[in-house]
């Protein structure tokens, strides 16, 4: 029975890694499309969002089969329950990559009012968080999960910098308002991606300790 559970768990880990890689690539592509004002790439990201959605359904099905067929207890049940929570956040990350791409298409017909300096830094930080959280789960690495959670401060700090810079541009020239607001919204989407990656890492902590945000659940 245990060997069967372990085999199914390997399939679950592989599917989760694949989903994590897909959303990481979506973030990278969305950022490239934004920087280069590449409408075709932006549309490709939007169209590919179904891949992430389907992967979520696949993993959800694997989790339910593990619960119903293997009847896991204690730590194993925490692990499967955590995955069910994690894939919701990963799916939302994919959605935000699409959201960014939709705004990219709207902004593609005009030059940017400023060089996109800190937004790519936010993107890089969030990709690091996404893959770090998945690695922490697969390796059952509590310290790595905690590092991901702490790293969210970097994303938050970058958002504040971007927001303040763009607000200053609006004050200097009201004609910049529309694009500046759109860029702030994009930065907010990256900030939310960081939040979702943090959530994933927090569910990793739960799977290992039974604690979620310092509250004992099971």
Query: In which element (H, E) is residue 1 found?
Result: none
Q: Looking at 29-38, 67-76, 100-109, 185-194, which range is the least confident one?
A: 67-76
H-state helical runs in the chain: 2-36, 39-47, 49-65, 74-107, 118-139, 142-172, 177-209
pTM (predicted TM-score): 0.93
Q: How far apart are CA 17 and CA 6, in angstroms?
A: 16
Mean pLDDT of the chain: 93
Take residue 134 and report the two structure tokens written for it: 């998945």
Specify the pLDDT at position 19: 95
- Cβ-count burial 4-17 (b if 16+ within 10 Å, e if not): ebeebbeebeebbe
Which residues, other chains included, contact 99 with Cβ-Cβ below 8 Å and sequence gap of 6+? 189
Confidence of residue 216 (pLDDT cuts 50, 70, 90): low
Structure tokens at 34: 């934004």
List the structure tokens of 55: 């992967």
Domain range summary for the chain, segments of one domain joined by +: 2-216
| Residue 210 reports pLDDT greater than 60 | yes
Q: Which CATH architecture has domain 2-216?
A: Up-down Bundle (1.20)
């Amino acid at each position: 029975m245990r060997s069967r559970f372990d085999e199914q768990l390997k399939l679950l880990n592989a599917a989760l890694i694949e989903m994590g890689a897909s959303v990481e690539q979506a973030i990278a592509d969305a950022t490239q499309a934004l920087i280069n004002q590449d409408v075709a790439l932006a549309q490709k990201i939007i169209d590919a969002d179904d891949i992430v959605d389907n992967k979520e359904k696949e993993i959800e099905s694997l989790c339910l089969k593990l619960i119903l067929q293997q009847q896991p207890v204690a730590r194993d049940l925490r692990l499967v329950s955590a995955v069910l929570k994690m894939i919701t956040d990963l799916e939302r990350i994919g959605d935000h990559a699409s959201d960014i791409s939709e705004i990219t298409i709207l902004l593609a017909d005009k030059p940017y009012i400023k060089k996109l300096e800190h937004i790519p830094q936010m993107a890089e930080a969030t990709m690091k968080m996404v893959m770090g959280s998945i690695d922490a789960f697969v390796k059952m690495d509590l310290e790595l999960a905690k590092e991901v959670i702490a790293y969210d401060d970097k994303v938050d700090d970058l958002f504040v910098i971007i927001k303040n810079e763009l607000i200053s541009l609006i004050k200097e020239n009201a004609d910049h308002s529309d694009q500046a607001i759109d860029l702030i919204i994009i930065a907010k989407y990256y900030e939310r991606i960081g939040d979702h990656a943090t959530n994933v890492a927090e569910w990793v902590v739960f799977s290992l300790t039974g604690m979620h945000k310092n509250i004992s659940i099971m």
